């Protein structure tokens, strides 16, 4: 039976690489894959899933008007892959559930668990609640050897803890950190590498 998977990880944990690798594995076996990326994420152009190491693949643009179930019925893929799933709306997560339950098509969604304040995104909230299987994509804290579980937002190299939930960016704007280093940063006891290099 098909399942809905949510594979979450901190920033820079290689989630987009995993999407592209999984798509390649299916296609190498002659199987069909449908890839989706939210319309919100235009950092590398619309309708593109791009890893930090430069690999790239075209994907369907997922907006609030996209009829996921209809596209899946028409395309009948062997698997559906979703990048940046934290940006999904509740209705879109429910549509992914329908695809799994009614069409027996596995869906693997990748995304963040929480924002820079440690709060769940709408998409990750519903994925964590409804997914059949939840898996962590791991990476190491930017400052120590612990596992990174938090996303720390930077402004001019300085950690910030207030602001809009969604602000797209890469290493210049976010760092993967462990909870301990995140807590030290909140107390002003942690200097980021970028901030340190600008002031020495």
Indicate the fold that domain 4-136 takes in CATH. Rossmann fold (3.40.50)
As given in the structure block, the two tokens for residue 45 are: 């152009």
The whole-number pLDDT of residue 171 equals: 58
What does pTM read for this prediction? 0.85
Give φ, ψ of 193 to 5 degrees: -60, -45
- Cα distances (Å, whole numbers) of residue 109 to 89, 100, 150, 181: 13, 12, 19, 28
The ranges of the chain annotated as CATH 3.40.50.300 are 4-136
Closest CA to 87 of 115, 138, 53, 123: 123
Selected catalytic residue, list 18, 46, 64, 84:
84
Catalytic (active site) residue 84: yes
Within 8 A by CB and 6+ apart from 108, the residues are 5, 7, 19, 22, 79, 80, 81, 82
pLDDT mean by block of 10 residues, the chain; 200 residues: 95 87 94 90 64 74 91 96 94 96 97 93 96 95 93 85 71 85 85 44
């Amino acid at each position: 039976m098909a399942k809905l998977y949510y594979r979450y990880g901190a920033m820079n944990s290689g989630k987009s690489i995993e999407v592209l690798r999984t798509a390649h594995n299916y296609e190498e076996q002659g199987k069909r894959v449908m890839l989706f990326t939210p319309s919100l994420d235009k950092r590398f152009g619309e309708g593109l899933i791009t890893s930090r190491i430069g690999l790239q693949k075209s994907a369907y643009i997922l907006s609030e008007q996209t009829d996921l179930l209809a596209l899946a019925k028409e395309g009948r893929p062997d698997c559906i892959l979703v990048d940046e799933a934290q940006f999904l709306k509740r209705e879109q997560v429910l549509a992914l559930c329908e695809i799994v339950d009614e069409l027996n098509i596995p869906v693997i969604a990748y995304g963040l668990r929480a924002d820079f304040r440690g709060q769940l995104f709408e998409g990750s909230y519903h994925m964590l609640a409804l997914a059949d299987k939840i898996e962590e994509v791991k990476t190491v804290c930017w400052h120590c050897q612990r596992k990174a579980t938090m996303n720390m937002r930077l402004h001019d190299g300085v950690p910030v803890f207030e602001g809009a939930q969604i602000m797209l960016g890469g290493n210049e704007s976010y760092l993967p950190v462990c909870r301990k280093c995140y807590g030290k940063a909140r107390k002003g006891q942690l200097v980021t590498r970028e901030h340190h290099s600008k002031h020495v």
